[in-house]
Every structure is written in C-alpha cells, then in structure tokens.
C-alpha cells in the first residue's frame, strides 16, 4: 500500500475530524502529500490537525458549502477523500436544512470540482444510517435505503449526487459506507466515548435510552484501511462498498462490556427522556462486508474487545480535555 500512495497529491475534506485525522495521518505515513480542507473557525483551531502538531499537512481553512473554495482545494490533487459532513442524528431533527446544505450541496461542490480538475479518484463517505433498520441481515449494499432521520436523508442525497457524477460525467467516484466507527479522538456525542468518560469519572449509574438496538462497531484503524482499499480498487468505481466488522452487539450489551473493561461497578438505568421519536430509531445494523473483501481484499483486523480496550485507555488519558470541550482537541 505504501508504494501506491508515495508521492500522491491527496485532499481530505474534513481531515481535522475523527476519522479524517486518522486517515490523514495514515496517508502521510504512506508518503502522500496531503492537503486538508478544514472548517474555518475564528479560534485558529482545527481539531486534530493544529499546524503546530501536523506541520507536514497543508491546512486550508474553508467550507464545503463554498464552491469556489472547494474548487481551489481540489485543484492539483490526484485523489480526493470527501469526509466533511454535518453529522449527528438528534440535531438533524431541529435543523434539517443545515444538513441539506452541508451534506448534499457540499457533496455537489466537491464532485463538481473533482470533475473540473480531472482527479484520478473521488472517494465519497456515506454512512450505514442510510440503510435504516435492517430489513434483511447482514446488510449488503443492495439493501433498500430508508431515510429514518433528516441526517440519513441528507446522506442518501449526497451519495446519490456523488454517484450521479459517475453516471453523467464518468467521474471516477467510489462510495465508502462505514458502519459505526469508534476509537481514539471520537467526540463524546457518540455512545462509546461518552459512556467511557462517565465510567472513568466514577459514575455509579449509566443512563441510556433504548438498549435493544444493535450496531456494528468498527475500529477506526480498520475503517481507514477500508478507505484506502476502496480508493485503489477500480472495481469500486461507480459503486458503494460497505466497511464494517460483520459483528453486531446491542447497546445494552455494549455498555455492559465497557463496564467490565473499565472495572466499574456502575449499573445501567433506562431513561425514557433519551428515547428517539417513534419510527426514527434504527433498531438493527449488521454489515455484510463481503464486497469489500472480494473487491479489495479488505478485512477488519481489530476485535471489538481489543478496540474498546484501546479506546478506554485513550479516554482515560484525555479526561481533562474531554471535560473542557466535550471532545478532545
């Protein structure tokens, strides 16, 4: 893999974020010249890619909603990984238009720029939330798409726009559809880091909404390997490729496992105020990852237990930072 990326000029939109920063660092280690389009903010901070820490990365502040800024970021790049998105389901209930602007129009801007500048490959990031509750399991790429939240609807729209540029303009685009990625640096808006931070701070009770939904959790290093594998697969052009572990666990069992890993005496308490709107909760996600293996040779390498232990260690070491801002920066 190193030989495939050595000297490549790569753009990562959203490269300051959780998955994006891990992907950026991996690309740098593989010898790529990486430019990151990071969401501008007036504090001069760019998540995990502060210039003092990542001087080897070309950092470009901007916004995927700004078409000309995106075009300038894409110019001269061989490969574009598009990860910039407005994420999180709860906020999408109250601000759906924001999700359309970022996740749909932003994707149009990236695809338009990639087509204009003739990139070798555009890798667009989807989400398993586009599938909704599993009708059949494990979930293959042919599973129906179900917009059970404005967030998932916006991601479906972005996926379709990206693929339309392949069909209409022969843009070499591939769609990566990660299932629930977790690991170091993830925001405490996500279930694993928020539960771990509570446990490491000595919580005696863990308050949850519904404990029955199941998810397929994939460690971030494996997700990044999936992105790179899809990016170098000609078979994936114009297609969607799932990236997930192929193992499901209920939220209740997951939290119990986290309690055991941390050695905490905490107990789980169901909190009805945390339940999502009826018909919105995705009850089951389980990845069928055979296409990724057959087309790219990708397989997940980090077990759930090992990945949770690594994540637990990281959260314990960064509690002060998590306390300050809700996520480590």
The C-alpha atoms of residue 231 and residue 237 are separated, in whole angstroms, by: 9
Q: What is the mean pLDDT of residues 164-183?
A: 98
> Is 90 exceeded by the pLDDT of residue 316?
yes
Taking the whole predicted model, whether its pTM rises above 0.85 is answered as yes
Is residue 197 very low, low, confident or very high in pLDDT (cuts 50, 70, 90)?
A: very high
pLDDT of residue 1: 42
The alpha carbon of 51 is separated from its chain's Cα centroid by a whole number of angstroms, namely 22
3-state secondary structure of 219: strand
Most confident of 29-43, 230-244, 265-279: 230-244
3-state secondary structure of 89: helix
The C-alpha atoms of residue 86 and residue 206 are separated, in whole angstroms, by: 27
> Is 90 exceeded by the pLDDT of residue 45?
no
Q: Give, in words, the CATH class of 2-325.
A: alpha beta
Of the residues 46, 99, 131, 151, only one is catalytic, namely 151
Residues above pLDDT 70, as percent of the chain: 93
Average pLDDT, the chain: 93
Cβ(199)–Cβ(135) under 8 Å?
Answer: no
Q: Which of 179-188, 203-212, 241-250 has the lowest mean pLDDT?
A: 203-212
What is the secondary structure of 130-144 as a DSSP string?
Answer: GG-S-SSSSB-TTSP
Q: What is the mean pLDDT of residues 205-222?
A: 93
pLDDT of residue 273: 63
Is residue 189 very low, low, confident or very high in pLDDT (cuts 50, 70, 90)?
A: confident
pLDDT of residue 278: 62
Q: Which of 13-27, 39-53, 61-75 has the lowest mean pLDDT?
A: 39-53
The pairing of strands 214-215 and 249-250 is antiparallel
Q: What is the mean pLDDT of residues 138-144?
A: 98
Residue 151 a catalytic site member: yes
Tokens of 275: 């339940």
């Amino acid at each position: 893999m190193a030989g495939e990326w050595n000297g490549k000029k790569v753009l990562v939109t959203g490269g300051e974020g959780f998955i994006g920063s891990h992907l950026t660092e991996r690309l740098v280690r593989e010898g790529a010249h990486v430019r990151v389009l990071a969401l501008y903010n007036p504090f001069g901070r760019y998540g995990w890619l502060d210039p003092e820490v990542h001087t080897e990365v070309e950092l470009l502040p901007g916004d995927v909603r700004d078409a000309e800024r995106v075009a300038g970021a894409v110019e001269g790049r061989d490969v574009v990984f598009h990860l910039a998105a407005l994420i999180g389901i709860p906020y999408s209930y109250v601000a759906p238009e924001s999700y359309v602007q970022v996740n749909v129009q932003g994707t149009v801007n990236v695809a338009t720029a990639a087509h204009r500048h003739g990139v070798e490959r555009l890798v667009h990031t989807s989400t398993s939330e586009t599938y909704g509750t599993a009708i059949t399991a494990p979930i293959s790429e042919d599973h129906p798409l179900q917009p059970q939240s404005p967030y998932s609807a916006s991601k479906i729209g972005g996926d379709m726009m990206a693929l339309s540029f392949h069909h209409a303009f022969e843009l070499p685009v591939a769609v990566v559809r990660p299932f629930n990625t977790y690991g170091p640096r993830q925001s405490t808006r996500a279930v694993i880091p928020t539960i771990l931070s509570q446990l490491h701070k000595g919580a005696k009770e863990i308050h949850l909404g519904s404990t029955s939904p199941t998810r397929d959790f994939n460690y971030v290093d494996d997700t990044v390997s999936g992105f790179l594998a899809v990016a170098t697969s000609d078979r994936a052009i114009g297609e969607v490729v799932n990236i997930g572990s192929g193992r499901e666990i209920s939220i209740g069992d997951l939290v119990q496992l986290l309690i055991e890993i941390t050695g905490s005496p905490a107990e789980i308490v169901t909190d009805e105020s945390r339940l999502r709107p009826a018909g919105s909760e995705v009850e089951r996600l389980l990845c069928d990852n055979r296409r990724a293996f057959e087309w790219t040779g990708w397989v997940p390498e980090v077990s759930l237990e090992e990945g949770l232990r690594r994540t637990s260690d990281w959260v314990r070491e960064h509690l002060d930072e998590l306390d300050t801002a809700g996520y480590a920066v």
